[in-house]
Structure 1
Amino acid sequence: MLPDRNPFCASRHGARTLCTLLGLALLLTACQSLRRVSRELPSTPLTIDAPIGWGTRSKLVALGEDTPRCLALLDAASVRHDVLPPVRQDQCGYADGVRLGRGGALPVTFHPGGPAVACPVAVALVIWQRQIVQPAAQRHFGRAVTGIDHYGSFACRRINGRSTGDFSEHSTARAIDIAGFRLAGGSTVTVRRDWNGAPARAAFLREVRDGGCRLFSTVLSPDFNASHADHLHLDHARRGLGGYCR
C-alpha cells in the first residue's frame, strides 16, 4: 500500500503550479501591452484597419508629406478612389487630391458626390466611418449609415471667410464639412436639426464628433460657434501633438 502524499509537498507543488500560471498570465498581458504600444510608435506604419490610438492622428497628418504612401493605404484597404489632377488657384490648391467612391471597402455614398479631399483626409474619413460612425449608428439606431451629406472640402478662402488673415484648411482640401448622415431604411440625422434634438440622435452626433477628434487635428461643431450650427468641420491643420476639439 502506497503511503499518503505529504500534504506539505502537495501544497508546495500547488503553489508552484499557481505561480507558473500567474507568471504566464502576466507575460501574456505584458506582450499584449507591448503590441498595443508598438502600434502607437511614430516608427510603426499606419494601417487603415488598426485600432485608433493616441498616435493615429499624428500619423494621418504626416501622410501629407508622403502621397504615394497615402494612396497605397487606400489601395491596400480596397477603398475605391480616383486620383485627381493638381489644382492651383491663386494662393490655394492641392497636389494630393482624391475622390472617394462608393463600393469596395467603403459602403457609404457621399452626397452630393464624393468630395475632392487631400489624400490624408480621405484616409481619415475611411477610418472614421468604419471605426466611429458605423459602430455608433448600430448602438444608437440599430442600423448602418449608408450615406454622408457634406458641404464640400476645397474652397479658396480665408478662415471664416475674412478678407485678410490665414487661409482656411479648405484652401488646400485638408478640411471637410459634414452636414448629416443617411441611415438604412431612409431616415436621416442632421447636425442642424438633431444636435439638440431627440436623445439618441444628439448622442450619436456627439459620439461621432468626439471620435473625429481622435483622427483630425481640428473638429468644430455647434458647440464652437453659430457658424458651425449646421455641420461638423474636420481638418488636418498642423498642430503638433495636440488638437482642437469643440
Structure 2
Amino acid sequence: MRALHLIIRRFLVWGSIIAFALLAYAVLRQRPQDLPWTDLDLNQPIGLFTGRKLAALTEDSTLCKALLDRAGVDYVAMKPGGSGQCTYADAVRLRGDADAIALSPVSVAPSCPVVAALKLWEWQVVQPAAQRIYGQPIARIRHFGSYSCRRIYGRSQGDFSEHATADALDVAAFVLADGRQVSVLKDWKGTGKDADFLRAVRDGACGLFSTVLSPDYNKAHRDHFHLDQAERGAMGGRACR
C-alpha cells in the first residue's frame, strides 16, 4: 500500500509538471518572441529571447538587413572597411526618417545588429518612457560614436573593444521634442524625472544589447551608456550595469 501511495504521489507530481509545461507552451505560442526557436521579428514586442536573437545577427548580415527592410527602417549599407583587428563588414547608416529618432552626429554607422537593437530600443523602450515621463517624444540621441580602432579602455594591450568592429555605440544624451536635453553626465545622479528616464532606458536596453554599461559601472562611463552587441550575447553571455 505504501508503494502504491508513492507511485501515485510521483504520478501527481510529474502530471502537474507536464500540465504546467503544456500550459506555459500554450501561452507562449501567443508570443512567438518568447520562444528560442522562432524567427526574430522587429515588429514584435520584446521577448525573452529577443536579445540573444539580436546578438546572433552578428553572424548573418544578410538576415539582419532583411529584418531592417521588413520593419521599414530607412538605412544605407556601408562598404566594408578597416584592417587587421579593426575590420567591419556590416555597418549601416540610418537616414533621416521624420518619424524616427535622429542620431547626432548623423554620420555614425554602427553594425547592423547594433542598429536593429537601437530601433527596438527606440520603438519599445525610449519613446514609451519619454511619453510616460515627459508627455512628449525624444527627437535626437547624442552619441560619442561607434567605430574606433582601439582596445578596451584604450589600453596598449588586451582585448579589442567592440568599437573596433563598429559593434558598439556610446550614448551621451537625449534631446526632447521641445529641445530640452537629458544628459547622462548631468542628470544620472538626480532624483527627478530625468534620472527616472535615464534609468528606465538603461534598464530597457539590457534586454536588447549584449553589454550595457552606465555610470553605475565605473567612472569611465560617467558620461555615457555603452551599448554593444558582442557575439557572446547570442549564448546568453550578457552584462548589464
TM-score (norm 2): 0.86
Query: What amino acid is the match of 1:159?
Result: I
Q: Secondary structure at the match of 2:39?
A: coil
Unaligned 5+ segments in structure 2 are 1-21
Q: CA deviation at 1:43?
A: 2.4
CA distance in 2 between counterparts of 1:64 and 1:238 reads 7
Tell me how far 1:114 sits from its aligned partner: 4.1
Q: Following the alignment from structure 2 to structure 1, what is the Cα–Cα distance between the partners of residues 139 and 107?
A: 13
Query: For residues 135-150 of structure 1, what are the structure 2 equivalents within 5 Å?
Result: 135-150=128-143
Q: 2:190 aligns with which of 194, 197, 211?
A: 197
Which amino acid counterpart does residue 142 of structure 2 have in structure 1? D
Conserved 8 A contact 1:89-1:156: no
Report Cα offsets for 1:166-204 as digits up to 9, x if no partner: 000000111100001010111110100100125110010
Aligned to 1:86: 80
Structure of greater Rg:
1
Checking the alignment, whether the CA contact within 8 Å between 1:154 and 1:173 is kept in structure 2 is yes
Any conservation in 2 of the 1:158–1:164 contact (CA below 8 Å)?
A: yes
1:244 paired with 2:239, answer: yes
Q: Distance in 2 between matches of 1:75 and 1:69?
A: 10
Q: Deviations over 1:78-121 (max 9, x none)?
A: 111010000123321111110112217x5111111142111000
TM-score (norm 1): 0.84
| 1:32 CA drift (Å) | 4.0
**What secondary structure does 2:95 align onto?**
strand
1:109 aligns to what? 102
Q: Deviations over 1:151-172 (max 9, x none)?
A: 0000000001100000000001
Q: Is residue 132 from structure 1 mapped to residue 160 from structure 2 by the alignment?
A: no
> Does 1:62 find its partner at 2:56?
yes
* Count of equivalent residues: 218
**What secondary structure is seen at the aligned counterpart in 1 of 2:96?**
strand
Per the TM alignment, residue 218 of structure 1 is displaced from its structure 2 partner at its CA by 0.6
CA RMSD of aligned residues (A): 1.8
Name the amino acid aligned to 2:90: D
Measure the CA separation in 2 of the matches of 1:118 and 1:150: 15
What is the rounded CA distance, in whole Å, between the counterparts of 1:187 and 1:238 in structure 2?
36
Q: Give the equivalent residue in structure 2 for 1:161.
A: 154
**Counterpart-to-counterpart distance in 2, 1:71 and 1:160:** 30
1:215 maps to which residue?
A: 208
Give the structure 2 partner of residue 182 of structure 1. Answer: 175
In the TM superposition, residue 72 of structure 1 has moved relative to its aligned partner by 0.8
Question: By how many angstroms is 1:41 displaced?
Answer: 2.5
Q: Which residue identity lines up with residue 73 of structure 2 in the other structure? A: V
1:97 and 2:82 are equivalent in the alignment = no
Distance between the aligned counterparts of 2:37 and 2:24, measured in 1? 23
Work out the percentage of aligned pairs sharing the same amino acid: 51
Counterpart Cα distance in 2 of 1:29 and 1:54: 13
Task: Give 5+ residue unaligned stretches, structure 1.
Answer: 1-26
Report SS of the residue matched to 1:234.
strand
Aligned residues of 2:35 and 2:48 also touching (Cα < 8 A): no
| Residue equivalent to 2:144 | 151
Does the 8 A contact of 1:117 with 1:173 survive in 2? yes
